[in-house]
């Protein structure tokens, strides 16, 4: 089960994950694992309050109010649990379709697997080189929250817009 992209006509930067984890699929939205640092980090970078885990509309709002877009690299795949290493039978998402609907100028990949998949399958279609960022997954616990905020903040600083909604 892949999720629809979150974007608007103001989305200049696309953040791509790999594939929804079991907890995200259970929540029916991106980064649903309670230990994933994505939403607290995005809240800190945008000056927004950290959304409640169940508040999908608040999460969408953070993305849309700040000129961002959110999606995954894969439309479908075979995966064991949440193990990116087990991914096979990949079907990439239709990035060409998204690029006709939003003025995406930059692509940021949440982790090495999303970056590898993007580079192999989606870069030839988009023509936009991606920036590989450290994964916000709890499996990447060695990367401290402060480091995530610093690295992601530096990468996204020219793309996070002041809320205009």
Report pLDDT digits (tens) over 43-63: 999 999 999 999 999 999 999
Domains of the chain by residue range: 13-156
- pLDDT tens digits, 21-42: 999 999 999 999 999 999 999 9
CATH of domain 13-156: 3.40.470.10
97: CB partners within 8 A, 6+ apart:
none
Q: Which residues contact 87 (CB under 8 A, 6 or more apart)?
A: 18, 19, 74, 77, 78, 79, 113, 117
Contacts of residue 117, defined as CB under 8 A and 6 or more positions apart, other chains included, come to: 18, 73, 74, 87, 90, 92
Number of Cβ within a 10 Å radius of residue 48: 17
pTM: 0.95
């Amino acid at each position: 089960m892949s999720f629809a992209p979150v974007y608007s006509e103001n989305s200049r930067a696309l953040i791509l994950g790999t594939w929804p984890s079991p907890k995200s699929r259970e929540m029916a939205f991106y980064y649903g694992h309670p230990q994933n640092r994505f939403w607290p980090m995005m809240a800190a970078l945008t000056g927004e309050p950290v959304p409640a885990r169940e508040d999908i509309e608040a999460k969408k709002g953070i993305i849309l109010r700040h000129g961002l877009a959110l999606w995954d690299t894969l439309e479908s795949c075979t995966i064991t649990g949440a193990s990116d290493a087990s991914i096979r039978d990949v079907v990439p998402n239709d990035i060409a379709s998204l690029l006709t609907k939003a003025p995406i100028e930059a692509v940021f990949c949440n982790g090495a697997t999303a970056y590898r998949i993007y580079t192999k399958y989606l870069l030839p279609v988009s023509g936009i080189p991606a920036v590989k960022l450290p994964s916000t997954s709890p499996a990447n616990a060695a990367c401290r929250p402060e480091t995530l905020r610093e690295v992601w903040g530096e990468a996204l600083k020219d793309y996070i817009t002041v809320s205009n909604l």
